Structure 1
Amino acid sequence: MAKRTGRKKSQLPDLYYEGYLEKRSFKDKTSRKLWTCLCGNTLFFFNEKRDNDYIEKLDLYGLISVTDDSSPDPNLDAARFNVQMTNGNIKFTAPSPESRELWKGFIYSVAELQVPSSLNLLPGQFHILKETVQKEKERLSNPLTEQSPPTTVRTDMPACYYNVPRLEAELLLEREASKGNLLLRDGKDGRSFAITTKQDLDGSIFRHYRILTKPQGGFYIDVDKPVHFDTLHDLVNYMVEKTEGSLTPLIIEGQYDKNISFISSDNENGERTQQPLPDPAPAREAPMSVTGKIMSDEPVTSAEENSPAINREEKKEDETHHYICVRPPPTPEPRKILPPSPAPRKIPPSKPAINSASSDVPEKSKILSNPQIKKQILPAALSELKLKLGQKVKIQD
Structure 2
Amino acid sequence: MSVNPRVVHKRRETITALPLYYSGHLQRKNSNEQDFKKFFGELRGTTLFLYEDDTQHTYSEKMNLEKLKSMELVGHYQQKVPSTFNLNLHTEKVQLKMDNLDKGMEWRGYILTVIKKEVPSKLLPGQRLLLEEVLAQEKKRVHPGHRPPLPPRPDFLCAASPSPKHPKDEPDHKASTMPECFFKVSRDEAEKMLEANPEYGSIILRPSTRANNYALTLRQLTASGTAMKNFRVTPAKTGFVIELDKPVTLSSLNDVISYFLKKTEYRLQPYRASQPYDTSIDVPPAPKCINISPPLPKTVPKAQVAPMKRTETKPEESDYVVPDDCAPEYLDLNQSKSQFDGELREALKSRRANIYAANEKEELSIYQNQASSKSQSVAVQWDKDSSAA
Same fold (TM over 0.5): no
The structure richer in helix per residue is: 2
TM-score, length of structure 2 as denominator length: 0.38
Structure whose alpha-carbon radius of gyration is higher? 2
